[in-house]
Chain A
Amino acid sequence: AQSVTQLDSQVPVFEEAPVELRCNYSSSVSVYLFWYVQYPNQGLQLLLKYLSGSTLVKGINGFEAEFNKSQTSFHLRKPSVHISDTAEYFCAVEAAGNKLTFGGGTRVLVKP
């Protein structure tokens, strides 16, 4: 079985400042890793994914994440946030067959 822990439930950050959202996972098999964003009253939108290869993954809207196998982490970063980045962010793992296991989410509040 897989599990995902997002270490911060809320992250307040000032506009144009950097942000890092932490994600740790556990799994007995190789996994694929994802970050999704959810804006208020909307579904989930894929930000980026790690399948294999380079451990630094670049996604949409200036986000990137780094896969660290030894630390079983997949932290999400953005060097400079905008007000529009205010949303909830979910880390997820998939071992096989479409079943995504999500973390509890991190709410990012960008302040002017």
Chain B
Amino acid sequence: DAGVTQSPTHLIKTRGQQVTLRCSPISGHKSVSWYQQVLGQGPQFIFQYYEKEERGRGNFPDRFSARQFPNYSSELNVNALLLGDSALYLCASSTSSEGATYEQYFGPGTRLTVT
């Protein structure tokens, strides 16, 4: 079975631009979460979606938004990019969002560089 897939693998953007990152969860997984991992730090929670509804949001500005589609894939959008948005963006999927789900499966990430 395919794992969590993310696209693109890498991208370079300029300050002020907008970017969309994509994630396809493992088949049968209905929950998708997004994390930001700045170089040298642990991942930080951005969003969680379950059944197309936002179920959790981390401490990130409104420039960050996300959505989940009927096929459970997800997009993360970041507007008005700043240099500090340069990071590895990780997507994780799991089977449910009811309480703790015990295990999230991570994709390989999208490396975003803002110049």
**Chain A residues close to B by CB (< 8 Å):** 4, 6, 32, 34, 36, 42-46, 49, 51, 90, 92, 94-105
Contact = CB atoms under 8 A, between A and B. Distances in A.
A100 B90 CA distance: 12
Contacts of A92: 42
Contacts of B48: 97-99
B102 A49 contact: yes
Given A90-B42, A104-B41, A97 B107 contact: no
Contact of A98 (B41, B97, B106, B108): B97
Contacts of A104: 41-42
Interface residues of B, number: 30
Contact of A100 (B31, B45, B108, B109): B45
Most-contacted residue by chain B among A49, A98, A105 (CB, 10 A): A98
Main secondary structure of the interface of A (DSSP, over half): strand
Given A94-B100, A95-B100, A43 B107 contact: yes
Interface of B: 4, 31, 33, 35, 40-45, 48, 50, 55-56, 58, 90, 92, 94, 97, 99-109
Contacts of A42: 108-109
Contacts of A36: 106
A6 B41 CA distance: 11
B103 A44 contact: no
A99 B43 CA distance: 11
B42 to A, nearest CB: 3
Contact of A105 (B33, B42, B101, B107): B42
B32 to A, nearest CB: 9
